[in-house]
Structure 1
């Protein structure tokens, strides 16, 4: 794999190790995963430990009340887990109208869907783990109980969320959020130690009961009681009947490599569709025509993804069609020398925190979990630390749309883990978290790696672009000016994000197929860290 040692100037060097590696957005969480590896756990145990720790040390992005997805490479085989929760059994467009809603609100009890993250930890542990869940969740419990100092990027995001919520989330249902995420009734400061004893207690109960306390026991009771009190929809029956789904990952072949994603309802297929379209191109390094074709391929893929992706069995077009050579060739032929506003293709008659782990046995995990839009719904179940997600916000109330709101339905989902293989052997896990940036980040990481032979850290350090809709493209402040000018001449509406914008936060671990040595890259746009052994 010639990209492992490519001499591209990078802000940080690629981390190299051979006995184990954990890459994620918080050093304390990465260390938690590494500690579990050193205690005899495997890559799956490390992933669970890291994920649970992230609910504590990065609550601005995820929590116990969020969803999760995983791709697991175990004994030379790739497994997929979809732990995204459905809408409540009692919710519907009519039920919303009875409560006075003609659209789904962003915050509050209404957009809350069943949390899937705890079920992911349990399912992964039962199937692949080596250590008991009580031992694997111990570092996260310790962080919540004893506290930890708030890091820089985390603190900035926390303060931004707190200021926004203070003026917008003023009703009684949000009181517990402020009780949980304040220190002495005020906004936490960077470097200040924050504790969450309720969070620790909930994690301990999940560990001791293998999730039963959360989905069928006392935590489920507390969630239901809160929902009844504030006129929400989620019930204990919704929680008790939920099970995560083991799924067969989907792939697209790209220039000698297979790029794997979780199938819809997740949006990983959008990254694959873009690669499927773009692989007809002849890319050149730091070239305006190449960049234009990349942007146009992503615009087309996203337009089709948003039009068609929902629960797989409810999609109006097959996954196989969207990943077929005919689809890629047809959509690529529509790319011209100028920026277009794509429309969904005609259907032939007849679908955050990210972490990657690896162990000395060759096992690897690509794992992602999220509450959505930062802190999620703004709803925290009192004295539990359970901050609930707001995934229901993405449902459509248009009855003709595939992602139309229905009871017990999983919505179009933004969080996606990625995995790369070559000749049926693992190269490794990768991911770029960040809402609708995620498929665009996956696409850019893969093309940087395969087309331009960048090592993991260099692939993450490259300046990013993001399609925002119509002809608007946001780019980072350090994006080359000559490329900005060339893209504008092609009709793109380029916005340089002076405030940094949201261009995703990625992690990569590649394994050298000859030596077994691990090469890791972590995100420079956050408090990213790699713990290696």
Structure 2
């Protein structure tokens, strides 16, 4: 097992890591974590537990994800790591010209234009079919009960639900958004903390997905409802778009960082940013965590990796350079050599010359899964299919309107995607799943969690609790308000433009489960910046 300090990180809350043997689920909402554990105790495996937890999260944390979102997963089973890409494509009939004809110079954040084909239902069905032990219908039952019978709104959830409602009330005034208010603000307000909220339509949708192994969503009654509402309100999704959707099994990509293999899903996801940054950082020595030099080099490496991603990363079939080129040792050294004593403005190199939820689950049989799903920007597009609870994502917002850009909008194309699950192995043994959700914070969170673990020996809870930083743009760096001020001052002296954030919400929400290869003991950490929970058995 990783050698780490079992004590809490000094700047953190007094929370400790959680230990278990027969099963563990870590996620951002206690009710969802307990639902996953319930499935484990009924004879399901880690994959079943992850699906149950993910489905519950669409109900008990709708501010961050939904049935109409996308999903990615890394699954360890029988000595092998499998990658799942369940991100949907843009509608076939959408284009840059069509958007401009509609009066837009940029892709909006809300409405039908940024909506892409949802991948979440397909992810659940495919994971269940390939690796699950229990029928999907049974695995979705806890989520169905919460949607049908209701649940009390938790503190962090209530806070961000209210933020969304206040924003949507003034911005989303078109009739297309009325079902959002009918579903998520039935009393003309967001539900209050502790108040019971339910969604009968959401329950029926989950029941239909379970009974048909998601076929109803792509080719049946749910697909018909989605397409009908699109026709009525000017949407681009068609029956053919939904019917053509297929989940893709992909070969995970990795770099070796100080003897540990760190794994991510290949593009169109941004996990390659975390790997590229680690590939740069592995050439440095970091004798201590709390030093200006350590943070400076981390930030500079992330900036360089983001610059390359912005230029090169999109749907893999449209990329002009390969993941292998971006992650080569030679290119890593070339980028590493750019890092000096002063903060730089990041620029892409040339490798050819050299609102999301995250969960981790494990069982006593050795199965482990790193799973992430999202609607993007909280509730997503603001488009909800009437009486179904299906809130559609707005992933298409990340497309470029520049026809020459590698990530240019095109029908039938997948966009650059922010959500990324992580996994770590050592030799031929799994260490375990990890992730930090939250837009473009995600690869930055992955780098910080991996280094906290591998370089500095922090246990899972402390690795998550440690104060975080986030590169925003150019030389702009945001740090948490509990980030050591003398280190923030030192970074400022190196040319970084430091902003101290008052709220923790922009620094991501993480989960970790590590497994001891000799004893099978599981140790987990969960996010202290939200209503995070580890359910262990």
TM tier, smaller: over 0.9
- SS of the residue corresponding to residue 506 of structure 2 reads coil
Aligned residue number for residue 103 of structure 1: 106
- SS of the residue corresponding to residue 74 of structure 2 reads strand
- SS of the residue corresponding to residue 291 of structure 1 reads helix
Equivalent-residue separation in structure 2 for 1:32 and 1:277 (angstroms): 40
Say whether the 8 Å CA contact 2:513–2:522 is kept in structure 1.
yes
| 1:3 Cα deviation after fit | 3.2
Equivalent-residue separation in structure 1 for 2:504 and 2:346 (angstroms): 27
| 1:313 Cα deviation after fit | 1.8
Return the match for 2:484 from 464, 469, 480. 480
Asked whether 1:372 is paired with 2:376, we answer: yes
Return the match for 2:131 from 123, 128, 133. 128
Say whether the 8 Å CA contact 2:32–2:54 is kept in structure 1.
yes
Equivalent-residue separation in structure 1 for 2:21 and 2:352 (angstroms): 48
| 1:97 Cα deviation after fit | 2.2
Unaligned stretches of 5+ in structure 2? none
Between the two proteins, the alignment pairs up a number of residues equal to: 532
| 1:241 Cα deviation after fit | 0.9
Return the match for 1:342 from 342, 346, 353. 346
The Cα offsets for residues 264-312 of structure 1, whole Å up to 9 and x where unpaired, read as 0000000000000111111122011111011000110011111110011
- SS of the residue corresponding to residue 507 of structure 2 reads coil
| 1:242 Cα deviation after fit | 0.5
Aligned residue number for residue 211 of structure 1: 214
| 1:232 Cα deviation after fit | 1.3
Q: Mean alpha-carbon deviation: is it higher for 277-286 or for 515-524?
A: 277-286
Asked whether 1:176 is paired with 2:179, we answer: yes
Aligned residue number for residue 146 of structure 1: 149
The Cα offsets for residues 245-278 of structure 1, whole Å up to 9 and x where unpaired, read as 0001011100000000000000000000000011
Equivalent-residue separation in structure 1 for 2:433 and 2:100 (angstroms): 43
Return the match for 1:413 from 417, 440, 453. 417
Unaligned stretches of 5+ in structure 1? none
Equivalent-residue separation in structure 1 for 2:49 and 2:5 (angstroms): 27
Asked whether 1:463 is paired with 2:477, we answer: no
Equivalent-residue separation in structure 1 for 2:190 and 2:453 (angstroms): 41
**What is the root-mean-square deviation of aligned Cα atoms in Å?**
1.0
| 1:392 Cα deviation after fit | 0.5
- SS of the residue corresponding to residue 269 of structure 2 reads coil
The Cα offsets for residues 89-137 of structure 1, whole Å up to 9 and x where unpaired, read as 1011112122222221110011100000000000000000000011100
Return the match for 1:39 from 37, 42, 48. 42
Asked whether 1:506 is paired with 2:510, we answer: yes
Asked whether 1:3 is paired with 2:3, we answer: yes
Aligned residue number for residue 302 of structure 1: 306
- Normalised TM-score (structure 2): 0.98
Equivalent-residue separation in structure 2 for 1:358 and 1:111 (angstroms): 35
Return the match for 1:446 from 418, 435, 450. 450
Written as runs of structure 1 = structure 2, the 5 A alignment for 1:312-323 is 312-323=316-327
Say whether the 8 Å CA contact 2:165–2:189 is kept in structure 1.
no
Equivalent-residue separation in structure 2 for 1:525 and 1:243 (angstroms): 35
Say whether the 8 Å CA contact 1:476–1:501 is kept in structure 2.
no
Return the match for 2:387 from 383, 389, 409. 383
Equivalent-residue separation in structure 2 for 1:184 and 1:94 (angstroms): 40
Asked whether 1:493 is paired with 2:508, we answer: no
The Cα offsets for residues 307-327 of structure 1, whole Å up to 9 and x where unpaired, read as 110011211111001111001
4+ long deviations beyond 6 Å: none
| 1:82 Cα deviation after fit | 0.1
The Cα offsets for residues 208-241 of structure 1, whole Å up to 9 and x where unpaired, read as 0111111111111111111111111111110011
Equivalent-residue separation in structure 1 for 2:58 and 2:321 (angstroms): 36
Return the match for 2:23 from 17, 20, 25. 20
Say whether the 8 Å CA contact 1:4–1:519 is kept in structure 2.
no
The Cα offsets for residues 374-421 of structure 1, whole Å up to 9 and x where unpaired, read as 000000000000000000000001111110111100000000000000
| 1:4 Cα deviation after fit | 4.0
Aligned residue number for residue 275 of structure 1: 278
Asked whether 1:333 is paired with 2:348, we answer: no
| 1:158 Cα deviation after fit | 0.3
- SS of the residue corresponding to residue 384 of structure 1 reads coil
Equivalent-residue separation in structure 2 for 1:523 and 1:432 (angstroms): 9
Cα 1:98–1:479 shift into 2, 3 Å: same
